A = this chain, B = another copy of it.
């Protein structure tokens, strides 16, 4: 049974709004408004324990999931939400061994998710024009122990990714249409890509460019997620919800021009 070490990330959980992601070695005593929790005393314990603060409040000490980790990372910059990441993963089919290209790196949240899924034999190539952003992302990926599955590159993806035979691509930049050609050149024939754009205008312009570049199965979606407060006799949706994060556009490369002859009929 896996036990907590000083190096372990632990999720100290009270409810969805009150939770802390910390390591005993970084935060020996966790000070909260619910009291102090002695994290060093948890070392050697298995995950999943209930623990009591100095004020007598009961917290649960969970092993962080992938989602806990990436949502924590996301705080710094633009967020991609699990609802959106989930659809991307399923539609891109990213899994162990996949070689994926991504730009921009941002906080490394998407990078980390992709790295987590391609391990141990795959690789995520992530590009960002901003070296400082990427330094933060690199640290985040290291913390999650995923550095072996990520190749960080500082540079402008509009000039090309400089790699080929890629299984799937992710675009999360303000002007994704400028990178569509680079993406096309790097992806295997028929390989899928995804792009994340907050505005309708960006989605419109991106789709237009993807059509021009011969992409097939182009689709744009938006996903809304709403929490349900399920409790006996009082079940109802949550009063507030996220109204919008981004539009997700998908497509697959084709070998246009090549097959127009009459060999296949």
State in angstroms the CA–CA spacing of A128 and B116 once bound together: 30
**Contact string, A204-239, partner B, CB cutoff 8 A, digits 1/0?**
101110000000110111111111111111111111
The CA-CA distance from A193 to B90 in the complex, in Å, is 18
**Of B53, B234, B254, which one neighbours A201 at CB under 8 angstroms?**
B234
Contact B93 A87 (CB under 8 A): no
A166 to B: closest C-beta gap in Å: 13
Cα A92 to Cα B63 with chains together (Å): 12
B230-A203 in contact (CB<8A): yes
Interface contact A41-B265, CB-CB below 8 Å: yes
Inter-subunit contact A222/B228 (CB<8 Å):
yes
Number of interface residues of A (CB under 8 A): 101
Interface secondary structure of A, over-half rule: mixed
Q: How far is the CA of A247 from the CA of B238 in the complex (A)?
A: 13
Nearest CB of B to A202, in Å: 9
A13-52 vs B: 1/0 string, CB under 8 Å?
Answer: 1001000000000000000000001100110011111111
Q: Can you identify 24 A-B contacts, CB atoms within 8 angstroms?
A: A13-B217, A45-B259, A47-B189, A48-B253, A50-B258, A51-B264, A52-B264, A60-B254, A67-B93, A83-B83, A85-B86, A86-B86, A86-B87, A86-B89, A86-B91, A90-B113, A95-B95, A95-B116, A200-B200, A220-B227, A224-B224, A224-B225, A239-B244, A240-B241
8 further contact pairs, Cβ within 8 A, besides A86-B86, A199-B234: A50-B259, A61-B264, A62-B252, A67-B91, A67-B93, A200-B200, A222-B228, A223-B224
